[in-house]
Structure 1
């Protein structure tokens, strides 16, 4: 399995730009694909799924020689700015990959993205294959502006079975269990939780889950909607106080603020026995499996959902993470370009071969009725867990730094880092975020 970093963290993902050329007479000329005349252009950022895209293109070109797909690869660091500039100038791609959430919504609000709702409604079998909780990340005002193209990435709590056994403990089911486990592990001289705090975004997973567990999905819905004072809601304040409590209890391994999440250092602490747990996205499994295959194959790695909070409003099945990456279609596409693009999304993505290739690569697609395929795949126990967790979730919250505007997402990571470092109080965090949201 290829190790993965979160798709929202551009500086950490080793991704590519996909150039899709669709030969079409009378096209807009926004790109020349070199595939036999004028063509239309699509960009995609992919990481870990390159082989799947290549296989898809090969089959598509064979079946549709007049609508060829050509890949051209680029490093991903400048992708967002490149896309923003091109779309803003009116010469963006016909198809483009994105993370859904706030970034996609900004293009939708600017009238740059085509509404795919009529296409999905015209083919219920296509729409009904996709997990609704995932499609939600590309749905605004009841209209759908993107379809998923890769695997789901929920955040889970990984643990070292040997270290928990040494402490005579079980994985925590509630927040109180987690605090008690921290105390037990520390008494055994074991660092409870590893975290790549130097990268800041791992902090966010704790806030996302705690706000959900305490206040339910409506709390963040108010934040995302820009409701005045939403960051000072009781659930947010309580969640930040719980984070402060965990930090003060010594829940995180010493020096966590200097550990990078971008190089696998945090996961290494788990499989080398230096820490008992880590809260990480599903890409963490690949990082662990690559770093220490024996740790995984010998059954020393365990995983579980985020603990419930007694008395909280959030359903324990709710999850957070990266729902998927999406393909969207430009509102400037000609009728023929749109038809070809939609046809590719409907027939070239998530067909049997495409799904098989994703599973082979360790990705779990948000497609219904895959139980048999997953059970027959490599790492079946892990893949089945991720699949069932996502399928059965009452709510799948897109990572906040993607769901929010890029500017507010950056402010969030900055102030949350300060909270974890004890530089500001929970009350100050809430006040600062309300101030940032009001700008």
Structure 2
């Protein structure tokens, strides 16, 4: 999305500003800060909390079958029949909302092909969707569907109403792949489940033979501030002054942490450790802080037209209505649009 604004000349280049103000750039987690750059220039700066995609699990359900959260894709697939035999869906999925489907494709492509695969797609390189990692990831998704990995009727489950996470904390599903933001919702909707330590969380499994670093993450690095290229000099000066001294005040940082969110800045370890939510917040902070690469959610990184086509066709993949090859052909045709 940012690239679309940059290509249209609608946002100001902040490269000189960040070079002249190293205290601003050193404030941020490096992997998050990179997402404000296009072609080596800075056009946006992070402004709130980091939200990687996390694999959540119900500890009671895992204890019921004597299992541990999967560390590899093969382990994940091996858990499917065990949970089904126990009468529990292995994974919840808000398929009606479509965007949760994308988390599966993003992580699988990252684990199989590394961040370069999507970087080429985002750069609109010809036939970038033909990278073997994409078809491999789509094939694995359909194999998981065939194995009964997702809850029955997943295409009618709405993530926008938190129905997918409810299946997790009520024990109807063992796991859900979702954004870091749902923790705040579960604190409210399933307070005892969270407070009593029933909620587990881990990283997405590795894939045998994959090129991706297991520490890489996908999701929403942050929301970002940009400055309109049409702003007057005085407006730009005021905006940049706010970026320098008005963002991430002590009060703002504490308010984010109190809400169950993780600010995108360095040096907050002790603040997180003092929070009632310290276990989750510290874990998520570590994911983002230690990530060699943090890939922005694809539907936000691509143009609106490409993003819409991707979600519609990925929905068809999950429903087994098209093949991986058909998905690749369709998406290659959207490059540059």
Q: What is the TM-score normalised by the length of structure 1?
A: 0.75
Secondary structure in 1 aligned to 2:226? strand
Q: 1:204 aligns with which of 68, 84, 102?
A: 102
Segment drifting more, 284-293 vs 342-351: 284-293
Counterparts in 2 of 1:4-403, with a 5 A limit?
103-403=1-301
Structure 1 residue 412 displacement after superposition: 0.1
| Structure 2 gaps, min length 5 | none
The higher relative CO (CA closer than 8 Å, separation ≥ 6) is in 2
Secondary structure in 1 aligned to 2:211? coil
Higher helix fraction (1 or 2): 2
Q: 2:316 aligns with which of 418, 425, 434?
A: 418
Q: Is the 8 A contact 2:2 2:301 kept in 1?
A: no
Secondary structure in 1 aligned to 2:150? coil
Distance in 1 between the 2:231 and 2:169 partners?
A: 49
Q: Is the 8 A contact 2:184 2:259 kept in 1?
A: no
| Structure 1 gaps, min length 5 | 1-102
Q: Is the 8 A contact 2:25 2:33 kept in 1?
A: no
Structure 1 residue 104 displacement after superposition: 2.0
Structure 1 residue 438 displacement after superposition: 5.8
Secondary structure in 1 aligned to 2:231? coil
Give per-residue Cα distances to partners, 1:147-170, cap 9 Å, x unaligned. Answer: 111101100000001111111110
Distance in 2 between the 1:340 and 1:363 partners?
A: 28
Distance in 2 between the 1:111 and 1:169 partners?
A: 53
Q: Over the residues paired in the alignment, what is the CA RMSD in angstroms?
A: 1.1
Segment drifting more, 269-278 vs 375-384: 375-384
Are 1:435 and 2:337 counterparts? no
Secondary structure in 1 aligned to 2:267? coil
Counterpart residue number, 2:306: 408
Distance in 1 between the 2:63 and 2:261 partners?
A: 30
Secondary structure in 1 aligned to 2:321? coil
Bigger radius of gyration, 1 or 2? 1
Distance in 2 between the 1:110 and 1:205 partners?
A: 28
Number of paired residues? Answer: 337
Q: What is the TM-score normalised by the length of structure 2?
A: 0.98
Counterpart residue number, 1:69: none
Secondary structure in 2 aligned to 1:155? strand
Secondary structure in 2 aligned to 1:278? strand
Q: Is the 8 A contact 2:36 2:45 kept in 1?
A: yes
